[in-house]
Amino acid sequence: MEEIIELNRPEDEINLLSPLTWAYIGDCVYELYIRTNLVNKTNLKPHKLHIETIKYVKAKNQAKLLEKIQDKLTEEEKNIVRRGRNAENHHLPKNANVQEYMHATAFEALIGYLYLTKKHSRLKEILDFLSNNT
């Protein structure tokens, strides 16, 4: 992926980005991971792929995923999650309660942060753990 998309911000700059920016990227990264896994593991048609993807990427599920990995996170990652959860988001969730939405944002922030800081092996470790334990 890095050959296609150049990540050129230094880590100290990434640390200064809004946690909602991390979540914005994390949402994309996680959805691409899920879509790719579904394409690799099933023979579903595009509409069914979409329906299956939604099950994984909806806020309620992402909040549960964060709960599953919470005790496996480093202190730095817990701090990223805390910042993501506490980010002031004026978006009102339509299919989740506010707490679920805050935790989903925290999950996405962690995924986005690991992606942007090029911690790809750690990102893969977390995603593979979740893939094998859901």
Catalytic site residues?
Answer: 27
Residue 88's closest CA among 71, 75, 76, 101?
101
What single-letter DSSP state applies at residue 6? Answer: -
Residue 50's closest CA among 38, 41, 62?
38
Contact 127, 33 (CB under 8 A): yes
Q: Which residue has tokens 């995603």? A: 127
Contact 19, 109 (CB under 8 A): yes
